[in-house]
Structures are given as C-alpha cells and as structure tokens.
Amino acid sequence: MSTVDQTSKIPNNVDLHHDKRLQRALEQWQPNYLQWWMEMGPTDFQAKDVYLRTAISVDAEGWAHFDWVKMPDYRWGIFLADPVADRKIGFGDHKGQPAWQVVPGEHRNVLRRLIVTQGDTEPASVEQQRLLGHTAPSLYDLRNLFQVNVEEGRHLWAMVYLLHSQFGRDGREEAEELLQRRSGNPDKPRILGAFNAPVDNWLDFYMFTMFTDRDGKYQLLALAESGFDPLSRTTRFMLTEEAHHMFVGETGVERIVQRTAELMKQDKNEDVRNQGGVPLDMIQRYLNLWFALSLDLFGGEVSSNAASFFADGLKGRYKEDSYEDHTALEQHYKMTVPKDGTLVEEDVPLRNAMNEVLRDAYVDDCQRGVDRWNKRLAEAGISTRLRLPSKRFYRHIGLYADMPFDAEGKLLSQEEWQRRKGEWLPAADDRAYVATLQKPVHEPGKIANWIARPARGIKGLPFEYEYVRLD
C-alpha cells in the first residue's frame, strides 16, 4: 500500500518530493488553481465550515476521511490507485505487452487530447453549479453540492498531474488552459456540449449528477482499462469518489419523485403545482433533456477515433475483462441508422462501434435508476411511470444529430418537431415554474416543500445535523 504524504503543499501518493522539477511546476500551478476556485467555485460560501470527506490515503479506511473544512482549505491532492504488478495491456493490437509507464511517443497527441477532454469537464461542472448554494433545499443537500464540487476540483488535479508529469511543456500549457476556458462562454467554451449548459436550479443539478456524472463513470471505467498505466491508476481512484456524485443525483430525483407522489395523493385532481411540488411530466422533460445531452458525451455511434483508441490500447470497454475476445477485429455491432427518411439496421465493425458499446452499458445503468424512481411511484399507488427517451431523441452528435426524433424515436417533420418539442423538453414556463421553487432552506432539520427528506444523513449522522455552519 502506497503511503500518502500529507505534510507537503500538495498531498500525494506519487513521491512528488523525489521529482523536484515536477513538484515545482505543480506548486506553480497551485495558486492559479486556487485563484480559479475563488473566482469560479461556489459563490459566497468559501469561509464557511463544511462537513466534507477528504482522501487521506487510497485504501478503504483512508479515502473517505470526514472533517470540518473551509472549501479553499480542502487538501486537493494527487492520488493514484496502487499499481498492479506486471500489468499488461488488456486489449487491442498491443494486447499482452507490458503497460506503458511513460507516455508512448506515437500516442502522445491522442492521449493528451483524451486527458484534456476528461480534465476539462471537471472545472466545467464546478462553474456550472457555482450559484446553487444560494437555493439549496436543505443543509444536507448544500453539503452534498460542496462535496461534489471539491471532488471535481480534485479530479482536475488528477488530470493536471498527468499533463505535467508526462507531457512536458505542452502539458503545462494545456493545464493553464484548463483554468482559462469557461462553461457557457461563447468565446472560450468548455470542450463538450453538456458542460456548457446552465445548471442553475436543483432539478437540473440532480439530473446532471444522475446522468452526466454517470457518463463520467463510464468514461473513467473505459480509461481505467488503458494501457497507459498512470491514466489507468488515476482514473481507478477517481471512480471511488464518483460513486457519491451519482448517489446525489439518483437519490435527489428519487426524493423529488417521492414528494411529488405524496402531494399528488393530497389533491383530489392529483395537482401538485398548486401545492408547490414538481409535476411528473415536468420531471420527465428534465430527464429527457439531461439524458440526451449526456448521450452526446459518448461521441459518434460510428467513430474512427474510437476504433483507434481501442486498437492502440488507450481506451477499452466497460469491464473489458468480461469479454472473451479482446481484439474486436471479427465482430460487428448492430445499429439503427437513418437512411433516406427511414431507419435501417446495419452491422458496424465492432472497433468503430466502441462509443456505442459504452453508451449502451450506460443506458442500462440509467434504466436501473429510473426503475428505482418508478418503484417509489408504484409504492405510492401512482400509475404514471418515468421513462428514458429513445437514444435518437434530441441528439446533437453522431448519426441522429439535429434530426427531429420524438421521445419514442419516431422521425417527425421539422414543422411537427417545432410545434411539439415542448411536450418533451423543458420550455420557458417549466423553467419559470422551477425557478419559483428555488428558495434556500438553511435551518438544520428543515427541507424545502418540493423534495422529500433523505432516508439517512451523512456518515451515520442524522438528517438534522448542521452539515454546513453558516454563522
């Protein structure tokens, strides 16, 4: 088990003090990071004590150490999962060769791009969520928001460590640029679509952490298979932190659904709007939006980039071990492809279909979450069910990009789409209504009217605990 150096400026388990050049470079980046955090991190709560978990080692006991922390004092550091002895590349054309400990020259540019794309999402999400603290439905939720935010900050550190340690001057420049781009800024936007969409209310936030963070899980799982061992080790450790982010989203939506069901039962017309709840059809529209935005993050269905990532051993499949064949040269993957105004089934060579293979594993995982929400509805005696829209709905990347499919996946005319899109996507009046619900509840033990209390608090503490000290 590697030990974590907690005493140095940058906590780490990579023996940073043995590499003075790297240590100096990262120590120079650190104040720029902190400046970014103060400018673009959660507004107005930086001086408050928050009950946060911090990693102090990478083992089961140490990775989740809870304590009172002011966010700017959070110990952002560099933590890699412990190395696997004699690790070999597990797939693609180099299968069976020793995993690379140093970035291979021939894959340098591609790896840098993958790492920058991954890294860019982390600060982007913090920027998207920076105002949410002002409208948190409870102190428990406020604390969870800040937990997610500081860990996304740490995930940026994880990628910046790789850029600084393996990519020389180019890597240092990329690390600076990660602090320069801004979510939603038309002049210097974040790289991927969903990370430029606003997250300015808690329904968007829970949908984001349910669906977009879950893309993060699958992308990290694919990168954890990488033959580039430092990338594999850093993403493996990130995955331990990621689980909580999806928990926040999945249980957040679940608690809204639960409260909506309660309020429906209290009204003879099952109307929840007049009682300050979120109607199920509105929840469905936000679900549709964030599912579609998150599907785009997997890239095109047919992708020569994805084929090369796999061939070169850089990015594998979810649970690559569970496959018998790791070359993916002979097989095909079935896809539904739009052609001349209809949809036809086509067999796509498996390597070119890797984005879709990962996306399909993700869709199954999302379905499991939706099933859980529907269970709450069934228990409450409500017959309406939530559903994932078709994978073709509202896509902007890939085979179905910008084509007018409805939520069932049926191709409409542009005219019908324009007329009916408000049935499937949040419209201005939905947004205006959700905005009216965004009022802070900062008293310990209290919760906003539109969401149910969580089943339990954090780390065995009750919901009533003062998770953020605001005075």
Residue of the chain from 179, 263, 306, 353 that contacts ligand BYC (CB under 6 A): 306
Residue of the chain from 23, 118, 165, 288 that contacts ligand BYC (CB under 6 A): 118
Positions 245 through 304 that interact with ligand BYC (CB under 6 A): 296-300, 303
Report if residue 355 touches ligand BYC, rule: CB under 6 A: yes
* C-beta separation of 80 from 226 below 8 A: no
Residue type for position 342: T
- What is the gyration radius of the CA atoms in the chain, in angstroms? 23
* C-beta separation of 214 from 294 below 8 A: yes
- Which range binds ligand BYC by CB under 6 A, 10-18, 27-35, 213-221, 433-441? 213-221
Residue of the chain from 12, 23, 125, 166 that contacts ligand BYC (CB under 6 A): 125
3-state secondary structure of 67: strand
Report if residue 6 touches ligand BYC, rule: CB under 6 A: no
Report residue 361 as tokens.
């594993």
3-state secondary structure of 77: coil
Print the binding letters for residues 133-152 with ligand BYC: x by CB under 6 A, - otherwise: -------------------x
Report if residue 184 touches ligand BYC, rule: CB under 6 A: no
End-to-end CA distance of the chain: 41
Report if residue 308 touches ligand BYC, rule: CB under 6 A: no
For 198, other C-beta atoms within 10 Å of its C-beta total: 12
Q: Which helix (H) or strand (E) holds 22?
A: helix 20-40
Dihedrals phi, psi of 77, to nearest 5 degrees: -150, -170
Report if residue 215 touches ligand BYC, rule: CB under 6 A: yes
CA 167, 170, 173, 179 torsion: positive or negative? negative
- Residue whose CB is less far from ligand BYC, 219 or 260: 219
Residue of the chain from 144, 166, 212, 251 that contacts ligand BYC (CB under 6 A): 212
The distance of closest approach from Cβ of residue 429 to ligand BYC in the complex, given in angstroms and rounded to an integer, is 28
Positions 33 through 72 that interact with ligand BYC (CB under 6 A): none
Residue of the chain from 2, 30, 32, 305 that contacts ligand BYC (CB under 6 A): 305
* C-beta separation of 141 from 247 below 8 A: no
Distance CA 45, CA 128 (A): 16
Return the residue nearest ligand BYC (CB atom).
Answer: 299
Which spans of this chain sit near ligand BYC (rule: CB under 6 A)?
114, 117-118, 121-122, 125, 152, 192-193, 212-213, 215-216, 219, 296-300, 303, 305-306, 315, 355, 397
